[in-house]
Amino acid sequence: MLIRFAFTDWHDKAQESLYSTEKGVELSMGSLHHGTVFNGELYLDTDTENDLKQALRDGYHPVFTVCDENIDFQQVLNVRELIRDLRDPGVVDGLDGKEEHVAKLLEAALEVSEDDEEGTD
């Protein structure tokens, strides 16, 4: 399925927007800034393609994250979801107020894990 991808925003490893930050401005200096459109292609089975086309007709749009082909993205998503849960009061109990500390440790581990993946090329 031919498709157009519109660049929206840069996010950090915790999925927080970099909009209006120094790093966000730096990363947005080239073609990768809000509103840039790229042509691409998705390889989908027929049912998924039909579902996507219907959703688009209904006014909904999917949001994708670009990832390196060597990264186990599901594992990264699981860690990011856990980090968000740790920062949401009442979602995770039993850490005696140390949720933010644990979230920071997980973020650091994620950074190390992604650095290790980069070195395996």
pLDDT band of residue 81 (cuts 50, 70, 90) is confident
Strand partners, 40: 3
The percent of residues above 90 in pLDDT, for the chain, comes to 8
CA–CA gap between residue 106 and residue 90 (Å, rounded)? 19
pTM of this structure: 0.49
Domain ranges of the chain: 2-57, 73-118
Q: Name the residue with higher pLDDT: 3 or 77.
A: 3
- With 80 as the cut, is the pLDDT of residue 96 above it? no
Residue type at 32 in one-letter notation: L
Strand partners, 11: 17
Instruction: Give the 3-state DSSP-derived string for 39-67, with helices as H, strands as E and coil as C.
Output: EEECCCCHHHHHHHHHHHHCCCCCCCCCC
80, 13 contact by CB (below 8 A):
yes
pLDDT band of residue 121 (cuts 50, 70, 90) is very low
